[in-house]
Amino acid sequence: MQAVLWDDVERAGLCDDLERLGPDAPTLLAGWTASDLAAHLVQREHDPLAAPTLVLPVRYQRFADGRRDALRRRHGFERLVEMVRTGPPPGVFRVPWVRATANLNELFVHYEDVRRANGFGPRADLPPGLDDALWRNVRVGGRYLTRRLRGTGLRACRAATEATVALRRGDPTVAVIGPPGELLLFLFGRVDARVDLLGAPDAVEAVRATHLGM
């Protein structure tokens, strides 16, 4: 039996919602509409000049902002969503490891950005295979996503299991507890993620005050 490609599943669901909601629908990204998000995803996969700047400090992203706006004007919303749905051209974003990590993270998080900003709320029950894939990405990428946290340890705990992973070492240590998708959203800086933070109050506040994510 062929393995499920979870980035394809998330891509299809996100595009379905974008088409249903239209270009002016809000997202959880401050100031971004569905049209902005679609252009961002196309830029990430199709613009080799601007895509690398998306993970750089804000001052470098002005270049990407201009090219994203140009994409919106050139293609229009329906074409942008079609390009997202079709997926990336041959290259790094079709590499299996990238699909399983960076692509899945990007598409899952932005799918939730659209859903939650429009009143749909979290998905009640993710397929077990998707949960496992997201937990693997918490373990693989969590240290990078928490790199700005200083002086406090952080441990991710998968809800309803005994699975844990140390993301940052330090004393005191905070435990962040939740299902894999919510843990990933938290690590990407989504403040509405359905997680619990357990630890000394000052340490919990230090975690909440830290800019997590890319």
CATH class of 128-209: alpha beta
Smallest Cα–Cα separation from 107: which of 9, 209, 21? 9
**Distance separating alpha carbons of residues 43 and 138, to the nearest angstrom:** 25
pLDDT of residue 71: 84
For residue 112, give the amino acid letter: E
Cβ pair 163, 135 in contact under 8 A: yes
Which one has a higher pLDDT value, 48 or 113?
113
- Cα distance between the two ends of the chain: 35
Query: pTM of whole model > 0.75?
Result: yes
Position 15 pLDDT exceeds 50: yes
Burial class from Cβ neighbours inside 10 Å (0-12, 13-18, 19+) for residue 106 reads buried
Looking at the chain, the domain(s) classified CATH 3.30.1050 span 128-209
Question: Helix, strand or coil for residue 28?
Answer: coil
Residue-level pLDDT at 146: 97
Residue 56's pLDDT band (boundaries 50, 70, 90)?
A: low
Using the predicted structure, report yes or no on whether residue 2 has a pLDDT greater than 60: no
What are the tens digits of pLDDT across the range 170-210?
999 999 999 999 999 999 999 999 999 999 999 999 999 99
pLDDT value of position 66 = 78
Taking a C-beta distance cutoff of 8 angstroms, is the pair 130, 179 a contact? Answer: no
Most confident of 14-23, 46-55, 60-69, 71-80: 14-23
Look up residue 2 and give its two tokens.
């062929």
The C-alpha atoms of residue 21 and residue 201 are separated, in whole angstroms, by 40
126-154 confidence digits (pLDDT tens): 999 999 999 999 999 999 999 999 999 99
C-alpha–C-alpha distance, residues 99 and 93, integer Å: 6
pLDDT at residue number 57: 65
What's phi and psi for 49, nearest 5 deg? -80, -45
